[in-house]
Amino acid sequence: MSQHVMNTYSRLPVTFVKGEGVWLWDDKGEKYLDALSGIAVTGLGHSHPDFVKAISEQAATLMHVSNLYHIVEQEALADKLAEISGMDSVFFCNSGCEANEAQIKLARLYAHNKGIENPEIIVMEQSFHGRTLATLSATGSRKAQAGFEPLVSGFVRVPFDDVDAVKQVAARKNNVIAILVEPVQGEGGIQVPADMNGYMNALRQICDDNEWLLMIDEVQSGIARTGTWFAFQHTDVMPDTMALAKGLGSGVPIGACLAKGVAAEVLKPGKHGSTFGGNPFATKAGSTTLAIIEKQKLRENAQAMGDFIHQQLAAAFEGNDAIVNIRHAGLMIGVELDRPCAELVKLALDNKLLINVTADKVIRLLPPLVINQEEAQELVNRLATVVEHFIKSSLKAA
Ligand SMILES: *Cc1c(COP(=O)(O)O)cnc(C)c1O
């Protein structure tokens, strides 16, 4: 093992060398069921043949040119994203945190243009927006922030899914310019608002009443993950801006900040940029991902398989007091236990299943959008075995 990779991750003792569909193989030839998709990235499954063909051809044709020039692949992806989202314009970058940085900078410039000094953005508890300084400051996790002070100022935090808390800030402050929210919180433990449409409508109304921007982070929940192109499409609300990344490039790094109406007019030449952002290779990967999702009806599949997995998990864990709650929006699935369960990740790995635990007590499942019913059943069987063993051998938290 190389000593030259910086020690920023505690890695599991496994090395994957090959993937196909929902399956991964390690360097010893062992086969694993991937219920994490590289954290909501490989929605098409591994090594999708149409995707491999499209990006291979693009690499052989044109990999990169600067944004000093027109880029046809970038324009095609912008057009497609506008069509499926109803948004007006797209800024391309390379990751989720950068997409959120673009939203934050856009909001600040919007405030500046309105003559508001020291503008603030309302953000949520247990939110996750990335690891750059501004997005870390927006993130609702003291653990992630600790040691990186001074943080970027200009954020006001309120509890998630709490409209009154937002109204109180609106009544108290006159320098707020935007709300930044994940419609479904991912890192926070797959938190789905009790009434997503009601919550988003209330936030929209407050934004309209105060001329704030409604900015949503769909880095994890977007790109068909919850059964619609974007989670906000489960509601009848339109955001002003939206951040995307993760599933958009199927593993090729790409992020996007979409904007609508007045928000789409804020950034002007010279105000923001990215060397790699929107290059022919990455945007071809994005367009191909969206085309395959459409062709294979993966939104419909994400909804159906998400419902199926939830149902099967509920049946498998029926009467098990250690299971507090099972939540899902399409193929964003969370199983909350009554005790810390980080150990489950290694136990599942030993049983050839890749899962994640977030928010200390929540098993997070983000299987590829292409998962079929047989594979979904296998996922449930493997997980149920591991969880039952874990619960018997661990103690309930005091
Ligand atoms: C993963 C994630 C990010 C950060 O994306 P990176 O590509 O790691 O910078 C931001 N927001 C949400 C909701 C995420 O899940």
Question: CA 76 to CA 131: how far, in whole Å?
Answer: 30
Class for the domain spanning 51-295? alpha beta
Instruction: Tell me the chain's radius of gyration from C-alpha atoms.
Output: 21
Which residues on adjacent β-strands are paired with residue 191?
185
**Cα–Cα distance for residue pair 223/81, rounded to 1 Å:** 10
For 129-164, the DSSP string reads --SSHHHHHHSS-HHHHTT-PSPPP-EEEE-TT-HH
Classify the C-alpha dihedral 188-192-195-198 as positive or negative: positive
Ligand 1 pocket residue status of 186, Cβ below 6 Å: yes
Is residue 144 within 8 A of residue 131, CB to CB? The reply is yes
Exposed / middle / buried, residue 27 (Cβ in 10 Å: 0-12, 13-18, 19+): exposed
Write down the pTM of the prediction.
0.98
Residue found by looking up tokens 């159906």 in the block: 304
Q: Which atom of ligand 1 is nearest to the CA of 187?
A: 15
Q: Which pair of tokens denotes residue 189?
A: 């433990």
Nearest CA to 262 out of 122, 88, 100 is that of 88
pLDDT of residue 397: 55
Q: Probe ligand 1: pick from 95, 220, 356, max atoms within 8 Å of CB?
A: 220
Which residues lie below 8 Å from residue 184, measured CB to CB, with a gap of 6+? 190, 191, 192, 193, 196, 220, 221, 226, 231, 329, 332
Per-residue pLDDT of the chain (398 residues; tens, 9 = 90+): 899 999 999 999 999 999 999 999 999 999 999 999 999 999 999 999 999 999 999 999 999 999 999 999 999 999 999 999 999 999 999 999 999 999 999 999 999 999 999 999 999 999 999 999 999 999 999 999 999 999 999 999 999 999 999 999 999 999 999 999 999 999 999 999 999 999 999 999 999 999 999 999 999 999 999 999 999 999 999 999 999 999 999 999 999 999 999 999 999 999 999 999 999 999 999 999 999 999 999 999 999 999 999 999 999 999 999 999 999 999 999 999 999 999 999 999 999 999 999 999 999 999 999 999 999 999 999 999 999 999 999 876 54
Q: Atom 10 of ligand 1 has which residue's CA nearest to it?
A: 129
Every domain of the chain and the residues it spans: 16-34+297-397, 51-295
Q: Is residue 364 in contact with ligand 1, taking CB distance under 6 Å?
A: no
CA of 392 to the centre of ligand 1 (A): 34
Q: Tokens for 142, please give them.
A: 């003291």
Using a 6 Å cutoff on CB, does residue 96 contact ligand 1?
yes
Residue 241 pairs with which residues in a beta bridge?
215, 259
- The tokens for 357 are 């635990």
**Exposure class string for 14-25: b at 16+ Cβ within 10 A, else e:** eeeeebebbbbe
Domain 16-34+297-397, CATH among 3.90.1300.10, 1.10.357.10, 3.30.160.20, 3.90.1150.10: 3.90.1150.10
State which of 219, 276, 364 you would mutate to test the pocket of ligand 1, scoring each by most atoms of that ligand within 8 A of its C-beta.
219
Q: Are 104 and 119 in contact (CB under 8 A)?
A: no
